[in-house]
Structures are given as structure tokens and as C-alpha cells.
């Protein structure tokens, strides 16, 4: 009894410390210490800036590659389409028109034709499903989130449907976002099969402050049905009722801050390979999570008045860490047997461990540095909603009199100097910098100074071009967050950063700034190379020999002085054109490096995708104090046996300053060995890694045939540990089509022949270098 009481007060403290789902609370509890640093931005109660921004002809967002100067990115579903918010009628056609007017297609382009649809507060009754097209954000007023409510006469079984159930389509269903919305199915009988949201999606998609209300008491409803596909993150979702909160068949997903109340089952890992649930809350649920074969990692869970935290079967490999559970029901049931009974803080593993072999529920203590887990839990934060910041506290970068900015995507335009002046002004005045959609061409580095808050409209894009970014021996950032050693706030969300041409010396985004946890952060943003209508890379890089297509030096650089929180960021070297670009052929692009982490003061990667980069997708070089959860990677399609170039070519100069690899562990002509490394760990200390989703699909030349996967495995090694780290803890490392999960200095056997499962191989606990 004593123990239970103690737990109860602990739980209360835990709930209070979670990022508040209510945005009003969020700005008062999280923003105020930061405001002190810059006396702003000024707030007003209940006032949300977005609908009040200047949308005059020169100030509004424009899509320069869309082909119609009158094309509107921003739409208000009430003002522009006559939706009625009093809970009557059928508003589905108004929503559908807002999504599809001006010639938009359901599965259309993803970078050149964005649409941001604002939904004022109120209740919108729907009698038919809404289909959400690609490159679309639906968002409500965070002070008064709109309710999309299924009417009692609803036709169909899905309230909102995004992406596709067909895996050949769902893996290319990019760029769909939902924020500040409530989906409500309570008017539909609980014994009817019904879904609030179908989510058949890939990278670039996000949820933010999404609430789902379903009938309670054993209903059949599903909150989110995540189909096959390849997304990165589903975050900040709060679910009430339903038979299942979330059912998930996606390849890999990071679930951050999922909360279920009174759901029969909160999470069902029905298919796919790996899911990480960070800080889930199961309140009065029958079952927290179940899986019938998917690998599941649950970290920092709070289970109150609920059944088991996990019910696993079908060979699922499980990691539990720091689980609060206040009922007498078991914490874990595996194959029908209760195997863990009490709340605990240790790391519990059910699955293949190296060293140690197959574990059936062993525990180890895994202390966390306070730099990444200040109150014991790994730090998380929701993207700021700026709920109470009026338009007067926001600078529209296209509406600053002295600093004209075009965002017209032209290589002749240089928006850089004006953007630098505007960002400095926004920081000085403590205002939010709002980027209406545009393609902002810059010819030199854009600097994001301390006290910056940046929000894009529909993935507004900063695109680098010109000679400043062409010298691979002297790489230069297109966007640089702070100087070496600077500290302060830099919050960036809903932006895209890219290259307008082949730029072998471009570091697309570099972060140097540090601060308290969450001070320096990027949410729901993209770093892309090629594949879009805005870049000449898309039309030029179609030769098997990529020597002339070293399109960027590095995607994202977290430098040694930085401390950054990176949440749902997709770093993509394109493998195909997604904008129906005229004259786009195959995309055969060699981006040198994906994500380089040299930071030591505290780094959080909370859902990161890094795909098709030539030398590595992720490289942790002498990094310390790193929390990394859900790393989705794909090797480049044109390496391995039969490739035209053998690594490191065409990046022949090994640059030690950037932790480059030299493949000295491979024979000179061994093409299967000389392939991209998904994740490289070079020395460092206190590296906590959960949920590797490291896949390879193709080898040899790339001819665009997605059906022609490599024969057997594509590559020898998927991940590598270089200079031995002090305390590397890696959990649920899943690989596809590689002989070895890791290559390390101890020649540890990590072969997928020994450690099969998942999509080819899994090591549930790799602790060769653990403390
Ligand atoms: C655990 O899951 C299995 C398979 O889905 C199911 O048959 C069983 O009833 C569940 N156990 C509990 C205690 O819920
Ligand atoms: C686990 O979570 C609790 C709060 O629920 C926290 O106080 C504790 O420090 C956490 N971390 C570890 C490693 O136990």
C-alpha cells in the first residue's frame, strides 16, 4: 500500500511535467522562462496570429513552380468555402473543395503545390469522409481547436482519410500535417466498425495537438489506422475511448507523447517492424500496448488504473524502460504468460541481446545523464503553437518594407541579405518570423540568431544556390543556426531546406547554438536534395556516374558546440521526382553525408529520417549525451555489387574535420563492403539509441525499377562502431538486406544469420560498449 501511495504522488508529478496538450498552458509554462531572455514575443489571451496575417498580393504565400500565379496556399474553410461550424448539415464537401480546388490531385506533387487550410473553432458535422491530398496541412486555432464530428447518418467507415492503403502508394504519400484538431466519432454507434483517421502515409507527415474522441465502454472504433507506408513520427495525440487508439502497420514509427484514456487497447502493433513509444500515458485502458510480431520499445510510460502495459506475441522483441504502473495487473505478458509484474525503472529486454543471446525479461540499470533527462525522463517538447501570439508579434518575412523578399525560386534572386536582416530584427524585437510559402533563393549563408522563432507555411523553402556553396574542400552552411559557442532560443518548424543546383560544398543546415533542453529545436521540417521542381539537380542528375552530381556536402550538422532537439525531421536525397518536373529523369544523386552529430552537451533525435546519402546516413562523431529514437534510413540505391562507382568515390577526399569514413576495413574492390553506413558511432560517450530502422533495398546501377530488389543482401555492414565509445546503449536495431547489423572493433558476431527476425535482422540490445 505504501508503495502504491508513493507511486501515485510520483505519477501526479510526472503528468504535470509532461508538455501540456492544452496550448494555453504550454505557452505559460514553457515559454515564460524563455521570454525573459528577450522580453517577448508579446502575448494576448485567446488570440492566434495565423488568420490575421497580411495576405495582400505581395505578402501572401506563392508557389512559384505551380504554374498559376493566382494559386492560393492559405485557405479558410469557413470564409472561402462556406463551411458551417454549428454542428449541423454536412460540411464534408466544403472541406473537400478546400483541399482539392484549383486543380489539386489527391496523390499529386509534394513540394510545389502546398495547401494550408485553416479551420476556425466550432463543430463541423461531416456525413461523408474527407480525403486529404499530399502537400496539405489542416490546422485549427490552438485556443479553440475545431471539432470534426461524424454525423449520425455518416456514409462510410472513416472520418478523415490521408494517403493510401496500397503500399506502392502509401510509401510515396509524403507531406500531410494535422494540427490543433479534434476528431469526434461519438455520434456513431460503438458497435459499428469506424475509424477517426486513416493514415496511409510516408515521410514528411505529422500530427501535432490532435485529439480523438470515440465512444467508451468497449466500442469497436479505431482512433488512427496507420496502414503500410514509411512515416517517421506520430506525435502529441490524445485519445479517449475506442476499441483501439492506434493500430499500426507502418514500417517504422516514433510515437511521442501518445495519451489514451478509456481505450480498450491504446496501441496495437499489428504489422510493420519497429515502433518506439516515448512517454505514452495509458489511463484506465484495458491494455496499454499489444504487438503480434512488431518490435516495440516503450520508454518513460505512465500506466494508471490500466491492464498490462504490453501484451506481446508472434516473436515480437520488446524493450521496456522506466515504466510507472499502478495496478496489480502485470506490466508485461509474453505469449500469454505474465513475465513482469511491478513498476520499474530499469531496462527490460525480451529478445536478442549482444552479448548475452536471447533474453526473456532480464533487467539492467541504465542511468541517464541529467543533460538529456533533466527530471529523469528523456526530454520531449511539442512544437510551439504560438496560440496567444497576436499578428502584431509576428513578422511576415514578405512584408517588411525596408527588406523586400521575393520567395520566387529564381536563381537570379538573392533573398539572403534581406532574410538575414529580418531574422535579426525578429530576434531583437522578440517576434516570431513567419515564412509564407515560397522558395527563398539564397546565395550565401542565412543566419538564425539567438532568440529566433521561425514558422513556415506549408514547408516554406530556403534554397541555396551559387558559387559560395560549390567548394567541397571548404563547405559552407546554407542555413546556420547560431555561431560557434552561441546560446539562446532558436525554434524552427514547418520549413524545408534544400539545394537549387549541384552544390558539393553545401552544408544545408548547421546548428551551432546551445541552450537549456528544447531551446534550440526543429520540428516537422525537411532537408531535401533533388526530386523537386525547384532544383536543377532534378533534371541533371540522371547518369550512373555521379561524379558531376555531388549535390550537397552534408544535410544536417549538429556541431560540437550545439545542443539541439530534432523532432520529426526528414533528410532526403531524392530517389525519384515528386513534382512531375518536366525533363526529370532518374534521380541518381550523390549527397556526401546525411546527419553529422558532434555535439556533446545534449542532443535529442526524436524521430529522424535520413535516406540515400552516399557515405553515411547518420554519423555520431565523438558525440556525448545523445538520445536518439527511431532512426529511419535507406541506403543509396546505386551502391554495392555492380555499382558504377565504388566508395568512397566520388567523394574521394576523406575530410577528417567532418568525421569521414575511409572504408579501410574493406578490400579495395569489395563493393558489397564499400557501401553507405546507416549509423556510424565514432567514439563518444553516453549514447542512448532506440529503434534503428535501417533498410537497404537495391544494389548495382539504379534504373528506377522498384521491383528489382538486390539478390540476397545488398551490403555487408549496416551500422558501424569505430573508435570505441564509452557507454553506447543501442536497443531494437532492425536492419534489412545486410549481412551484419554492426561492424565493431571486437569483431562481435552481429550477423543477420545469427540474429534474424524483423525485416531481415534485429539486435534488441547491443551492449558491447555499455558502461
Ligand atoms: C494477449 O494477446 C493475445 C493475442 O492477441 C490474446 O489472445 C490474449 O487474450 C491477450 N492477453 C490478455 C491478458 O489480454
Ligand atoms: C523514470 O520516470 C520517473 C517519473 O515517472 C522519473 O522520476 C525517473 O527519474 C525516470 N528515470 C529513470 C531512469 O528512472
Residues 28-87: pLDDT tens digits? 333 334 444 565 688 888 899 999 999 999 999 999 999 999 999 999 999 999 999 999
- The per-residue pLDDT for 15 is 32
Report how far residue 586's alpha carbon sits from residue 543's, in angstroms, rounded to the nearest whole number.
8
Q: Are 212 and 195 in contact (CB under 8 A)?
A: no
Pairing label, strands 332-334, 310-312: parallel
Report how far residue 93's alpha carbon sits from residue 119's, in angstroms, rounded to the nearest whole number.
14
- The per-residue pLDDT for 167 is 85
Residues constituting the chain? 771
Whose atoms come closest to the Cα of 279: which ligand? 2
Give the residue whose CA is nearest to atom 6 of ligand 2.
376
Determine the straight-line distance between the first and last CA of the chain, rounded to whole angstroms. 35
**C-beta 377 within 6 A of ligand 2:** yes
- Residues 6 or more apart whose CB falls under 8 angstroms from that of 389 comprise 27, 41, 42, 43, 44, 47, 48, 49, 432
Q: Are 483 and 477 in contact (CB under 8 A)?
A: no
> Cα dihedral sign for 491, 579, 618, 735?
positive
Strand partners, 742: 719
**Which residues of the chain, if any, have pLDDT below 50?**
1-36
- Residues 6 or more apart whose CB falls under 8 angstroms from that of 37 comprise 450, 451, 488, 489
Report how far residue 320's alpha carbon sits from residue 341's, in angstroms, rounded to the nearest whole number.
12
- Residue 54: count of CB within 10 angstroms of its CB: 14
Whose atoms come closest to the Cα of 334: which ligand? 1
The CATH fold of domain 61-250 = Pectate Lyase C-like (2.160.20)
CA of 316 to the centre of ligand 1 (A): 14
Report how far residue 630's alpha carbon sits from residue 576's, in angstroms, rounded to the nearest whole number.
24
| H or E element in which residue 33 lies | helix 32-38
Exposed / middle / buried, residue 668 (Cβ in 10 Å: 0-12, 13-18, 19+)? exposed
- Residues 6 or more apart whose CB falls under 8 angstroms from that of 159 comprise 126, 129, 130, 148, 150, 183, 185, 194, 195, 196, 197
Class of domain 7-35+395-766: mainly beta
Report how far residue 709's alpha carbon sits from residue 130's, in angstroms, rounded to the nearest whole number.
35
Give the residue whose CA is nearest to atom 7 of ligand 1.
336
**C-beta 368 within 6 A of ligand 2:** yes
Strand partners, 270: none
- Residues 6 or more apart whose CB falls under 8 angstroms from that of 199 comprise 162, 163, 205, 224, 225, 226, 227, 229, 231, 234
- Residues 6 or more apart whose CB falls under 8 angstroms from that of 268 comprise 244, 246, 247, 248, 289, 290, 291
**Rounded to the nearest 10 degrees, how much is the dihedral formed by the CA atoms of 30, 628, 724, 765?**
130
CA of 265 to the centre of ligand 1 (A): 11
Q: Which of 430, 441, 581, 422 is nearest to 498 (CA)?
A: 441
Give the residue whose CA is nearest to atom 1 of ligand 1.
311
What is the atom index within ligand 2 of the atom nearest the CA of 366? 13
Question: Among 298, 321, 322, which is best to mutate for testing ligand 2, by the most ligand atoms less than 8 A from CB?
Answer: 322
**C-beta 345 within 6 A of ligand 2:** yes
Domain residue spans in the chain? Answer: 7-35+395-766, 61-250
Q: Where are the beta strands (DSSP E) in 87-157?
A: 115-119, 123-126, 130-132, 136-140, 147-150
CA 283 to chain CA centroid, Å, is: 26
What is the atom index within ligand 1 of the atom nearest the CA of 286? 14
CA atoms in the 13 A half-sphere facing the CB of 200: 21
Q: Which of 398, 437, 435, 438 is nearest to 418 (CA)?
A: 398
Question: Among 311, 333, 334, which is best to mutate for testing ligand 1, by the most ligand atoms less than 8 A from CB?
Answer: 311
Q: Which of 736, 706, 703, 702 is nearest to 719 (CA)?
A: 736
What is the atom index within ligand 2 of the atom nearest the CA of 17? 4
Report how far residue 617's alpha carbon sits from residue 596's, in angstroms, rounded to the nearest whole number.
8
**C-beta 613 within 6 A of ligand 1:** no
DSSP for 548-617? G---EEEEEEE-TT---EEEEEEEEE-SS-SS--TT-------EEEEEEE---S-EEEEEEEEES-SSEE
Give the residue whose CA is nearest to atom 9 of ligand 2.
376
Whose atoms come closest to the Cα of 13: which ligand? 2
- Residue 76: count of CB within 10 angstroms of its CB: 17
Report how far residue 619's alpha carbon sits from residue 81's, in angstroms, rounded to the nearest whole number.
48
CA of 626 to the centre of ligand 2 (A): 17
Report how far residue 407's alpha carbon sits from residue 447's, in angstroms, rounded to the nearest whole number.
17
- The per-residue pLDDT for 32 is 39
Q: Are 530 and 551 in contact (CB under 8 A)?
A: yes
**C-beta 595 within 6 A of ligand 1:** no
- Residues 6 or more apart whose CB falls under 8 angstroms from that of 67 comprise none
- The per-residue pLDDT for 39 is 56
Give the residue whose CA is nearest to atom 6 of ligand 1.
336
Q: Are 128 and 92 in contact (CB under 8 A)?
A: yes
Pairing label, strands 432-435, 446-448: unpaired
> 456: helix, coil or strand?
strand
Predicted TM-score of the model (pTM): 0.95
Supply 28's cell numbers.
505559460
**C-beta 313 within 6 A of ligand 1:** yes
Whose atoms come closest to the Cα of 18: which ligand? 2
Q: What are phi and psi of 17, to 5 degrees?
A: -80, -15
Report how far residue 136's alpha carbon sits from residue 173's, in angstroms, rounded to the nearest whole number.
11
CA of 428 to the centre of ligand 1 (A): 57
Pairing label, strands 446-448, 591-597: unpaired
Amino acid at each position: 500500500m505504501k508503495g502504491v501511495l508513493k507511486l501515485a504522488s510520483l505519477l501526479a508529478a510526472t503528468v504535470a511535467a509532461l508538455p501540456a496538450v492544452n496550448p494555453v498552458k504550454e505557452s505559460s509554462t514553457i515559454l515564460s522562462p524563455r521570454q525573459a531572455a528577450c522580453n517577448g514575443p508579446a502575448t494576448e489571451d485567446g488570440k492566434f496570429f495565423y488568420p490575421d496575417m497580411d495576405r495582400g498580393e505581395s505578402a501572401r504565400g506563392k508557389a512559384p513552380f505551380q504554374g498559376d500565379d493566382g494559386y492560393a496556399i492559405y485557405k479558410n474553410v469557413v470564409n472561402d468555402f462556406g463551411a458551417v461550424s454549428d454542428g449541423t448539415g454536412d460540411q464534408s464537401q466544403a472541406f473537400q473543395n478546400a483541399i482539392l480546388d484549383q486543380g489539386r490531385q489527391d496523390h499529386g506533387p509534394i513540394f510545389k503545390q502546398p495547401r494550408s487550410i485553416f479551420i476556425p473553432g466550432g463543430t463541423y458535422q461531416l456525413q461523408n469522409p474527407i480525403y486529404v491530398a499530399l502537400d496539405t496541412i489542416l490546422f485549427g486555432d490552438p485556443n479553440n481547436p475545431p471539432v470534426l464530428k461524424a454525423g449520425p447518418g455518416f456514409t462510410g467507415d472513416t472520418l478523415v482519410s490521408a494517403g493510401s492503403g496500397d503500399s506502392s502508394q502509401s510509401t510515396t504519400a509524403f507531406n500531410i500535417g494535422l494540427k490543433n484538431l479534434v476528431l469526434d466519432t461519438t455520434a456513431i454507434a460503438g458497435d459499428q466498425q469506424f475509424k477517426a483517421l486513416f493514415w496511409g502515409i510516408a515521410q514528411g507527415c505529422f500530427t501535432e495537438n490532435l485529439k480523438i474522441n470515440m465512444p467508451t465502454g468497449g466500442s469497436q472504433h479505431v482512433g488512427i489506422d496507420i496502414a503500410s507506408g514509411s512515416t517517421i513520427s506520430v506525435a502529441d495525440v490524445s485519445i479517449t475511448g475506442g476499441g483501439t487508439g492506434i493500430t499500426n502497420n507502418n514500417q517504422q514509427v516514433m510515437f511521442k507523447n501518445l495519451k489514451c484514456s478509456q481505450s480498450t487497447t491504446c496501441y496495437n502493433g499489428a504489422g510493420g517492424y519497429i515502433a518506439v513509444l516515448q512517454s505514452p500515458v495509458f489511463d484506465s485502458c484495458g491494455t496499454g500496448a499489444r504487438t503480434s510480431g512488431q518490435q516495440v520499445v516503450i520508454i518513460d510510460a505512465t500506466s494508471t488504473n490500466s491492464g498490462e502495459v504490453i501484451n506481446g506475441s508472434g516473436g515480437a522483441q520488446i524493450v521496456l524502460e522506466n515504466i510507472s504502473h499502478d495496478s496489480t495487473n502485470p506490466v508485461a505478458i509474453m505469449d500469454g504468460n505474465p513475465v513482469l509484474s511491478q513498476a520499474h525503472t530499469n531496462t527490460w529486454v525480451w529478445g536478442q541481446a549482444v552479448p548475452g543471446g536471447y533474453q526473456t525479461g532480464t533487467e539492467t540499470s541504465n542511468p541517464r545523464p541529467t543533460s538529456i533527462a533533466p527530471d529523469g525522463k528523456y526530454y520531449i517538447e511539442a512544437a510551439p503553437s504560438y496560440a496567444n501570439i497576436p499578428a502584431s508579434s509576428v513578422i511576415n518575412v514578405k512584408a517588411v518594407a525596408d527588406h523586400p523578399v521575393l520567395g520566387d525560386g529564381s536563381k537570379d534572386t538573392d533573398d539572403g541579405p534581406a532574410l538575414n536582416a529580418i531574422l535579426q530584427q525578429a530576434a531583437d524585437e522578440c517576434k516570431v518570423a513567419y515564412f509564407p510559402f515560397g522558395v527563398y533563393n539564397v546565395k550565401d549563408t542565412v543566419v538564425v540568431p539567438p532568440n529566433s522563432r521561425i514558422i513556415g507555411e506549408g514547408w516554406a523553402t530556403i534554397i541555396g544556390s551559387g558559387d559560395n556553396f560549390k567548394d567541397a574542400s571548404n563547405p559552407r552552411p546554407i542555413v546556420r543556426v547560431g555561431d560557434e559557442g552561441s546560446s539562446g532560443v532558436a525554434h524552427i518548424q514547418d520549413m524545408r531546406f534544400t539545394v537549387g543546383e549541384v552544390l558539393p560544398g553545401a552544408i544545408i543546415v548547421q546548428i551551432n547554438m546551445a541552450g537549456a533542453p528544447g531551446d534550440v529545436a526543429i520540428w516537422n521540417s525537411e532537408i531535401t536534395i533533388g526530386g523537386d521542381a525547384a532544383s536543377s539537380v532534378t533534371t541533371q542528375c540522371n547518369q550512373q556516374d555521379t561524379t558531376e552530381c555531388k549535390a550537397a556536402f552534408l544535410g544536417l550538422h549538429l556541431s560540437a558546440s550545439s545542443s539541439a532537439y530534432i523532432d520529426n525531421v526528414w533528410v532526403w536525397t531524392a530517389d525519384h521526382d515528386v513534382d512531375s518536373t518536366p525533363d526529370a529523369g532518374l534521380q541518381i544523386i550523390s549527397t556526401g553525408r546525411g546527419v553529422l552529430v558532434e555535439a556533446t552537451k545534449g542532443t535529442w533525435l526524436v524521430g529522424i529520417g535520413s535516406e540515400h546519402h552516399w557515405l553515411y546516413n547518420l554519423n555520431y562523431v565523438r558525440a556525448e549525451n545523445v538520445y536518439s529514437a527511431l532512426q529511419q534510413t535507406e541506403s543509396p540505391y546505386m551502391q554495392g555489387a555492380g555499382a558504377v562507382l565504388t566508395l568512397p568515390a566520388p567523394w574521394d577526399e576523406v575530410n577528417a574535420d567532418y568525421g569521414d569514413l575511409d572504408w579501410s576495413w574493406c578490400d579495395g574492390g569489395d563493393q558489397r563492403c564499400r557501401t553507405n553506413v546507416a549509423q556510424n558511432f565514432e567514439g563518444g560517450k553516453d549514447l542512448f539509441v532506440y529503434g534503428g530502422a535501417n533498410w537497404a533495398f537495391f544494389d548495382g546501377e539504379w534504373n528506377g525499377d522498384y521491383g528489382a530488389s538486390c539478390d540476397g543482401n545488398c551490403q555487408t555492414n549496416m551500422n558501424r562502431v569505430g573508435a570505441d565509445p564509452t557507454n553506447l546503449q543501442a536497443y531494437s536495431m532492425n536492419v534489412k538486406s545486410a549481412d551484419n547489423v554492426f561492424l565493431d572493433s571486437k569483431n562481435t558476431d552481429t550477423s543477420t544469420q545469427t540474429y534474424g527476425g524483423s525485416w531481415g535482422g534485429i539486435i534488441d540490445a547491443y551492449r558491447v560498449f555499455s558502461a
